[in-house]
């Protein structure tokens, strides 16, 4: 059985924040590469996607760098300006 993938608002906020960071710190080419390959290719393999699922949906909840304080980051809103 295949599940329908949904992405939460927090997932999209995390993704946009990460794209902005790469654009500002590594350039627009790296930001574009991130969007096209963050799930598969180096150096983006450290980005973790956290999921929830039920009988019908697989929901991508968050997208966070694996070197972060994950318990704290998962409780923190991606809209919070602190990094």
Domain with residue 9: its CATH number is 3.30.2310.20
Helix (H, G, I), strand (E, B) or coil at 77: coil
The number of distinct structural domains making up the chain is 1
pTM for the model stands at: 0.82
> Please, what are the averages of pLDDT over each run of 10 residues along the chain (83 residues)?
91 95 96 83 86 94 92 90 62
DSSP string for residues in 4-16: EEEE-HHHHHHHH
Domain that holds residue 26: 4-75
H/E run at residue 65: strand 57-65
Burial of 11 by CB count in 10 Å (0-12 exposed, 13-18 middle, 19+ buried)? buried
20 found inside a domain: yes
81 found inside a domain: no
Q: Do the beta carbons of residue 14 and residue 30 sit within 8 Å? A: no
């Amino acid at each position: 059985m295949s599940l329908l993938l949904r992405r939460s608002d927090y997932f999209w906020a995390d993704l946009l924040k990460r794209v902005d960071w790469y654009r500002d710190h590594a350039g627009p080419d790296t930001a574009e590469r991130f969007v096209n390959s963050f799930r598969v290719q180096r150096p983006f393999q450290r980005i973790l996607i956290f999921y929830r699922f039920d009988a019908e949906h697989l929901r991508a909840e968050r997208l966070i760098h694996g070197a972060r304080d994950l318990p704290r980051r998962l409780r923190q809103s991606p809209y919070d300006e602190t990094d």
